[in-house]
Structure 1
Amino acid sequence: MEWSERISAALSRPAAQQPPWPDPGQVRSVSAFLATLPPLVTPEEIRALRRQTARVARGEAFLLQGGDCAETFDAPREHLVGTAATLLRMAAVLAEATGTPVVPVGRLAGQYAKPRSDAVDGLGLPVYRGDIVNAPAPDPHQRIPDPVRMIQAHRTARAALDLLRTGRFTGVHTSHEALLLDYERPQLTVDPTDGLLYGGSAHLLWIGERTRRLDGAHVAFAELIANPVAVKLGPGATPAEAAEYAERLDPHGEPGRLTLISRMGSARVREVLPALVERVAATGRQVVWQCDPMHGNTRVSALGYKTRHFDDVVDELEGFFEVHRALGTHPGGVHLEFTGDRVTECLGGPGEVTESDLGGRYESTCDPRLNVDQALELAHRIAELSAKGTSLFR
């Protein structure tokens, strides 16, 4: 079967969280235009990351992934620089403390689409689905899904990548949730050197908790591409599901091809995660196990702000490491939402952000992020665990 036929078959499956585009013809026109543009990332760059994630899967390195919850088109250059610099500062802390290489992967240059629980927001407007779909402003017209925004997303991502490829950021790879399939499909490219299909929008692509259905288009899409791919697993994930992701998304048993990202919440990680890890290990696959300690610990403050507490984030990370130490498996990485800015979106941590502080600099358009001080403190906390003999690494 030709690649075009395989792609069409995969994307004809049920696809959750896709925008209700008002004009399908316009979507096709935008997709056709995107298909004429060069890929944002190259197969050679993707293969370089695959070699690094293979080391992580073998227990020889650690994967540090993080950045904005939802990137915006109008974010200043300084914001990208600050976030990328924070990622590298955290990586340096971990590498120095553990003596182990750290692979930095940013939620950068593509994290423009967001899955949402409801179709409308509290004002009765179509929900904001990320800058690639509509605008966050509470205006009915700006909330109408606009496929032309996919072109702006590509341009913004290109500018971000141009910046990351210069100077001290050359070692940072990019990633985002492969949510919007109308954006991902036209950027697929076949590399003539190996005949494989690559997703050209980012080096690493992941499938979210809301779109990981095994019979869905997102998993079928991930099966086709040669990029390293990841799947987020919430507390409702079963061992059988985790094993099937491993078998389908890593059919050839290639270390580091697949990352499984647990996002259980601090109250559930020690209970749920062990059975998943054991079942996947029984398949013989060397996957990367990564912890997202953010999404399972979201709460709403008394004043209505979505927030997370630094202590809950730390507790889930500690539980994640405890599980892997007990099983003798490698806790391969962390997946965080943070910014290089001094926002006040997450409670606690350095500076002891309180509920009354949240409104001071709450700038996220979606979920709360650790600020630069909280992110760096978290890196030090992880390093302290290693220094105390509760090492992240085998």
Structure 2
Amino acid sequence: MADWTPASWRSKPIKQEIAYEDQEGLQNAIQRLKKLPPLVTPHEITNLKQCLKKVALGEAFVLQGGYDRGKDQAAAADEFDPDLGWVPCALSCDCRGSLTNVNQSMKQEPTNRSFELLVSLVNSQIETVNGVTMPSFRGDNVNGFEATPESRKPDPSRLVDAYFHSAATLNYIRAALASGLADLHSPLDWGLGHVKTPAIKEKYEKITSRVTDSLRFMRTVGLDTAHGIETADIYTSHEGLILEYEETLTRASRNPVEPAGSRSLPQAVQEEKEFYYDLSGHFLWIGDRTRQLDGGHVEFFRGISNPIGIKVGPSMQPDELVALLDIVNPDKELGKVTLISRYGGSKIADHLPGHIKAVQASGHIPIWQCDPMHGNTRSTPSGVKTRNFSDILSELRQALEIHRAHNSYLGGMHLELTGEAVTECVGGAAGLTEDGLSERYTTFCDPRLNEKQALELAFLVAGFYRDHAAANGTESPL
């Protein structure tokens, strides 16, 4: 890829560009970031890519979870709730298979900085507040939340702040995992008291009983000493939106980190070139508003060796999707690209089949992942943004059925969730209504599933796969 460099995106048009008035400050921030060590390593990125190859082949399932962060939300140590560890546990133990965790909340700016927020919050870069026109709030990486012209002015020093928040939080995560935060030997507390319907509660109790029995059996026969039971490999993800930041943490490796036997370039060719890794995170994705074929974001993404995601919505044409895959993955490398569909429950049947057919005809084998959150956001009559659990579940169920009908594999889900007992999404077994949203509505951005809703969704998705496997006499791939 002789015509690509980490800075070649600068010659392309940019959507959602940040207009920094302080160009000297921006250059100072860029030069400082270039001298700082990476946040993740090429080896970790390669390990993730190997896991994702199994997902692409239908042998594993990816759970990507976290949430868009708004203004200076809770401190990191308070947010990493071990209760959420039972979400992947419910998926993997109940379905007897392999699970890869890609965590959005533990991404490059996990404490209180949100790169995904930059796109998801803003439809316009300008807004009028109390008669005063000013830049929109673009997330703490860029400007302040306070509605004043001075606060809203993009501040490049925030990019450096984001780096150090990320480094501190990643350090905490790694230390917490090493000390047993994700150890499945910890006492089980599934907390099903919130489930109001007796039949549903009985169903969930059977699932938790199977998980408990599986863990008890593994301990009895000595299998509970396995690395995968005592800890977890958690990989970070974020939207690669601010390319100035991404460029500074993109570093070259002359020796290919890719294991031999991969479906990328031949080894003899690999040794003659440099490989570039964006070491701001393990997994980056292109947003629905920045996927222009001739744009700067696609140009940047086509050159990095990280596994990448592409958000696919109703506005994406099938031929455009194939053209995009050809650009970012011309060698059709397994595990390289994840297509994250986000249509909405009322639109998925109109768009997903055509996208699947086009990709299958192209010869690409991406990972298909369902984001059932963003397409199902609505506002209550009083103006509160929320999502309905039944809509989220409906899109997931439809995605699974459509993939099966087209001999395709739904290999993951991308959720916005938290381990806190928030009241932001209505529905679920606890029966949260719109009247109850104000009890613990703490998000500054998009509504999230709380710990109970996330666990319930894991139960239901695991059941979808288990029932399908039983009906077809096969082993669940999860």
State if a TM-score over 0.5 links the two structures. Answer: yes
Question: How big is the shift at 1:55?
Answer: 0.7
2:66 matched residue in structure 1: 67
2:7 matched residue in structure 1: 8
Separation in structure 1 between the aligned mates of residue 10 and residue 433 of structure 2, nearest angstrom: 45
Q: Given the alignment, which residue of 81, 84, 90 partners 1:93?
A: 90
TM-score, with structure 1 as normaliser: 0.94
1:315 matched residue in structure 2: 394
Question: How big is the shift at 1:353?
Answer: 2.0
2:50 matched residue in structure 1: 51
2:144 matched residue in structure 1: 135
* Pairing 1:235–2:314 present: yes
Deviations, residues 321-371 of structure 1 (Å, cap 9, x unaligned):
011110111101000111111111111113222222222222112111111
Q: Given the alignment, which residue of 415, 418, 433 partners 1:339?
A: 418
Q: Which moved more, 1:353-362 or 1:266-275?
A: 353-362
Q: Please give the secondary structure, in 2, of the residue aligned with 1:28.
A: helix
Asked whether the equivalents of residues 79 and 420 of structure 2 are also in contact (C-alpha less than 8 Å), the reply is no
Q: Given the alignment, which residue of 160, 165, 188 partners 1:151?
A: 160
Asked whether the equivalents of residues 97 and 386 of structure 1 are also in contact (C-alpha less than 8 Å), the reply is no
* Pairing 1:200–2:206 present: no
2:367 matched residue in structure 1: 288
Q: Write the mapping of 1:301-380 to structure 2, written as runs, cut at 5 A.
A: 301-380=380-459
Structure 1: any 5+ residue segments left out of the alignment? none
1:109 matched residue in structure 2: 107
Structure 2 letter corresponding to 1:294: M
Q: Please give the secondary structure, in 2, of the residue aligned with 1:388.
A: helix
Deviations, residues 203-245 of structure 1 (Å, cap 9, x unaligned):
0000011111111111111100000001001111111011112
2:325 matched residue in structure 1: 246
The one of the two structures with greater contact order (alpha-carbon pairs below 8 A, sep at least 6) is 2
1:344 to 1:327, Cα distance in 2 relative to 1, 3 A: same
Deviations, residues 85-117 of structure 1 (Å, cap 9, x unaligned):
355321111111221211000112325222120
Structure 2 letter corresponding to 1:164: I
Separation in structure 1 between the aligned mates of residue 16 and residue 282 of structure 2, nearest angstrom: 22
Separation in structure 2 between the aligned mates of residue 326 and residue 241 of structure 1, nearest angstrom: 23
Q: Given the alignment, which residue of 213, 223, 234 partners 1:172?
A: 234
1:163 matched residue in structure 2: 172
Separation in structure 1 between the aligned mates of residue 409 and residue 83 of structure 2, nearest angstrom: 25
Q: Which moved more, 1:171-180 or 1:365-374?
A: 365-374
1:276 matched residue in structure 2: 355
CA root-mean-square deviation: 1.9
Separation in structure 2 between the aligned mates of residue 230 and residue 77 of structure 1, nearest angstrom: 25
2:250 matched residue in structure 1: 188
Asked whether the equivalents of residues 240 and 284 of structure 2 are also in contact (C-alpha less than 8 Å), the reply is yes
Runs of 4+ in 1 over 6 A off after TM superposition: none
Asked whether the equivalents of residues 309 and 339 of structure 2 are also in contact (C-alpha less than 8 Å), the reply is yes
TM-score, with structure 2 as normaliser: 0.78
Separation in structure 1 between the aligned mates of residue 442 and residue 123 of structure 2, nearest angstrom: 21
Asked whether the equivalents of residues 126 and 140 of structure 1 are also in contact (C-alpha less than 8 Å), the reply is yes
Question: How big is the shift at 1:282?
Answer: 1.4
Aligned length: 391
